[in-house]
Structure 1
Amino acid sequence: MKSNNRLLGERIVLTGTSITKKAQSKIEALGGQAIHLPLIEVAEIQNMEDQQLLHQSQNMDWLIFTSQNAVHAFANKLQKYRFSADQWCSKIAAVGSKTAQSLEELGFSIDFMPTTFSADCMVIEFNEILHNSDQCMFMKGSMAKDTLKDGLHCQLAIWTIYETVVCTKYLEEMRELLSKEKCTVVFASPSAVDTFAQYILPSINWNTLQVAAIGHITEAKLSEYGAVDIIQPSVYTMESVIDEIAIRKELEQ
């Protein structure tokens, strides 16, 4: 019988831009401690063309969202300019169940979601239903790679709707914690890994901590910097990575 306290005494460091109450409650319910020390932060990009771009997006066959951050920035613009989901006839493509949920909360319906929550998988599966004449708009972050731009077979307009920057506020706290305590550090994006490698890794050895990744792209980035024995669930969600950490800890007991 599995223990309800499989993470008893474990410290789980979450490095993403935000921590959901669901994730925190899940860690605590398993006996662990959730510590949120974000390595990156995001901000909506605002410019004078926003209203024009909203109108332009209404004429697209598809709108593409690959993160909740893009949805949140888009939602802010809808509110600012008093637009609503019922003004769009565009189909919606979303990467990730959380991204899809955020869009549905705005009133949009999801017409496509890849089986694996990653951009490279999306290119393969989305191209199966796209036509070369389809007009698509990708709502992206400033650090998004060119995977969709280079791979999708459609007429792709790109709207860089939010920016990702390094969050330095918690770096010293993280260094001190990891130098004294055995922790599991969870990375949800390659950007967070890059920040960790630049500011934390010079003073912390991979062997002194356990690392977990959400998504194979994030896992690959960790491997580039020398991390080994990376926990990475087959389902790319925070809840799944917490489950995988709990399974690993239980097997180690």
Structure 2
Amino acid sequence: MPEQLPLQGETVIFTGTPKSVDVFDLVRQYGGEPYSFPLIQVGEIEDSSDEERLKKSGAYDWLIFTSQSAVHSFQSKMKRYRLKAADIQSKIAAVGTQTAAALEKIGFQVEFIPTVFSADVFVQQFKPEGATKLNVLFLRGTLAGSLIREELPFHVVEWTVYETVTKPQSIISIVELLKKRTDCTVLFASPSAVQVFVESAVPIVGWSGFTIGAIGHVTANALKKAGATVNVTPETYTLKELVNALARRKEEIQ
């Protein structure tokens, strides 16, 4: 770390739910003060058809996971119905190294990860050798887009395994911080979080007076479409690299 801490005095607000405290520690190492106020909250969707769908999941050629939330919800169902990764012979595709790590932690071997961690790049690069007709299962959340189903040239079945709801208290807390603190950064990890912020916080605090960071071009585009200037985006789409990119930017303008 540099001797002069680039985030000294900076309030760094995470609007997603970090799966590890490492990113908070990284902010502190750079001299900043991290806050976690997730704008959305995810929870597993339980249904009477879960056991049957879970047992049939191994019949698909590929299972596709685009988030750690989907992995955790799928894992909960596996535990509930006493199914192990070894019982599922499907190949596994993951969008992102963190999603892949979550899958490997529960016993799966991930065989495909796109070079850029987003669904639009995934559908361009997911071309298994010799595959003409594949049956794939996409494990998704309630706010997932239709890109994977519509753009992949295979038979895609969707299984919505988790739901996303807003957290009003987080909005109140973020607005209060932005009003009190002069040096603030707000980090966005999904278009869903952007949408909540636009609807609930922007009418009060606007887009000026704080630094804006985004993971990925899809989230960045959502911010730009909403009228925001995106100051920081990392080359690798992870929270850790977003914090590193923020530190580099602050160091450059000091």
The answer (yes or no) to whether the contact 1:219–1:230 under 8 Å persists in 2 is no
- Using the TM superposition, give the Cα deviation of residue 173 of structure 1 relative to its aligned residue in structure 2, in angstroms: 1.6
What SS class does the counterpart of residue 192 from structure 1 fall into?
A: helix
Distance in 1 of aligned mates of 2:194 and 2:176: 18
Distance in 1 of aligned mates of 2:231 and 2:249: 11
- Using the TM superposition, give the Cα deviation of residue 129 of structure 1 relative to its aligned residue in structure 2, in angstroms: 4.0
Q: 1:247 to 1:41 in 2, by over 3 A?
A: same
The answer (yes or no) to whether the contact 1:62–1:93 under 8 Å persists in 2 is yes
- Using the TM superposition, give the Cα deviation of residue 174 of structure 1 relative to its aligned residue in structure 2, in angstroms: 1.3
1:41-56 aligned at under 5 Å gives the runs 41-56=41-56
The number of residue pairs the alignment matches comes to 253
- For 2:189, the aligned partner's letter is A
Distance in 1 of aligned mates of 2:4 and 2:110: 35
1:213 is aligned to 214
- Using the TM superposition, give the Cα deviation of residue 55 of structure 1 relative to its aligned residue in structure 2, in angstroms: 1.2
Return 79-88 or 168-177, whichever deviates more: 168-177
User: In the alignment, is residue 178 of structure 1 matched against residue 178 of structure 2?
Assistant: yes
Distance in 2 of aligned mates of 1:216 and 1:130: 31
- For 1:142, the aligned partner's letter is T
Distance in 2 of aligned mates of 1:149 and 1:120: 11
The answer (yes or no) to whether the contact 1:19–1:36 under 8 Å persists in 2 is no
2:14 is aligned to 14
- For 1:217, the aligned partner's letter is V
Distance in 2 of aligned mates of 1:200 and 1:62: 40
- Using the TM superposition, give the Cα deviation of residue 234 of structure 1 relative to its aligned residue in structure 2, in angstroms: 1.1
CA RMSD of aligned residues (A): 1.3
Distance in 2 of aligned mates of 1:171 and 1:114: 33
Distance in 2 of aligned mates of 1:3 and 1:129: 50
The answer (yes or no) to whether the contact 2:220–2:230 under 8 Å persists in 1 is no
The answer (yes or no) to whether the contact 2:224–2:230 under 8 Å persists in 1 is no
2:148 is aligned to 148
- Using the TM superposition, give the Cα deviation of residue 20 of structure 1 relative to its aligned residue in structure 2, in angstroms: 1.9
The answer (yes or no) to whether the contact 2:223–2:230 under 8 Å persists in 1 is no
Mark the runs of 5 or more structure 1 residues left unpaired by the alignment.
none
- Using the TM superposition, give the Cα deviation of residue 18 of structure 1 relative to its aligned residue in structure 2, in angstroms: 3.6
The answer (yes or no) to whether the contact 2:6–2:251 under 8 Å persists in 1 is yes
2:232 is aligned to 231
The answer (yes or no) to whether the contact 1:127–1:153 under 8 Å persists in 2 is no
Distance in 2 of aligned mates of 1:132 and 1:244: 41
- For 1:41, the aligned partner's letter is Q
1:3 is aligned to 3
Q: 1:19 to 1:158 in 2, by over 3 A?
A: closer
Normalised TM-score (structure 2): 0.96
What SS class does the counterpart of residue 148 from structure 2 fall into?
A: helix
Mark the runs of 5 or more structure 2 residues left unpaired by the alignment.
none
Return 65-74 or 29-38, whichever deviates more: 29-38
Q: What's the CA shift string for 1:128-178, capped at 9, x where partnerless?
A: 647231110000010000110111011111100101111112222211111
